Homo-oligomer: A and B are copies of this chain.
Amino acid sequence: MAKAEKYRLAEIVERFGGEVIGNAQTAVSQVATLESAGPQHISFLAQRKYRKQLAGTGAGAVILGRADGELTERPRIVCDNPYLYFAKVSALFNPPQAVKPGVHKTAVVERGTRVPASASVGAGAYVGRGVKFGKAVVIGPGCHVGDGVEIGAGSRLHARVTIYAACRLGQRALVHSGAVIGADGFGIALEDGRWRKIPQIGRVLIGDDVEIGANTCIDRGALDDTVIEDGVKLDNLIQVAHNVRIGAHTAIAGCTGIAGSTRIGKHCMIGGAASIVGHLDIVDRVVILAGAVVTKSILHAGTYGGHPAQDNRSWTHNMARLRQLDAIRERVSKIEQQLSSPEEQA
């Protein structure tokens, strides 16, 4: 990516806190893993299991938890949360690439839309009528922005994103290629064995600081809106059906599907490839494990997994118990034999 500036460890702790042990004048210009780091890199140890790699690292400096400060003699920063600290240092070294403002000559902007001078509209992008831009919005090449869409300041659509008419994105949204926001929800009604389409007249409303992964789909509401609250992070290939509400600061990993009208609380973490059926309520601070099939509302914070999803300890316990079934059957057979023999002998 872009060439990073150099920073001395002393400068880094001045910005982000923590404490330098060793030469605070050590300068680094990029982050790297313990395994691949060289003298120009700063690396980090966030999990004990990577301690072996710490011993062999060529990193110029390392970020460590307070308890691990003496695990290496290299110049190092000790802090409370080395993973978060690393995230901040990486953001310092790798700021988002600046995009030149301006509307590419091959882009199409319909009448009634004013593109501010601070915005960038890429090659071949299409921007419909009455679209409203905040400051410094980036519309990547080949994007489609429907009529009446609103996009908040500092938001960026990577190449080939689609936003259907009337949807709203907050500030600092980051949307990856192939994402589709605002397609019709799956609303159909049976009439004599045939499906009749129900118009989907709601919108998608997306809060601030939301990231949306590649090829993820968020459908517009049937009547009311589909809502993604502030700070939600969605990975790739996720399906969010109509009228779902995802609470603030919830993170959802790839390939997860959430069916219509389900409400997910704030600060949840949902593993990859989970499926959540429609019309459920999931409270705040729920963790759902990869591959879980959630068929009932979840009313208590905790960790859930399995198919059907349940308190994860139960699931794990149940699946382990299955293996004991043979042993139990044998014990029952033995008892039966024992009980029958005396009678026969009698």
Contact = CB atoms under 8 A, between A and B. Distances in A.
A290 to B, nearest CB: 5
Contacts of A87: 187-189, 191, 196-198
A306 interface: yes
Contacts of A122: 126
Contact of A201 (B31, B86, B106, B214): B31
A32 B90 CA distance: 47
B321 A194 contact: no
Contact of A291 (B94, B209, B307): B307
Nearest to A97: B165
Contact of A90 (B201, B314, B322): B201
B186 A180 contact: no
A328 to B, nearest CB: 6
Nearest to A159: B144
Contacts of A141: 108, 126, 144
Contact of A338 (B188, B217, B267, B339): B339
A119 interface: no
A124 to B, nearest CB: 5
Interface string A260-277: 000000010001110101
Contact of A321 (B81, B325, B331): B325
B183 A249 contact: no
Interface string A294-325: 01000000000011100000100011011111
Interface stretch (A20-28, A68-76, A251-259): A251-259
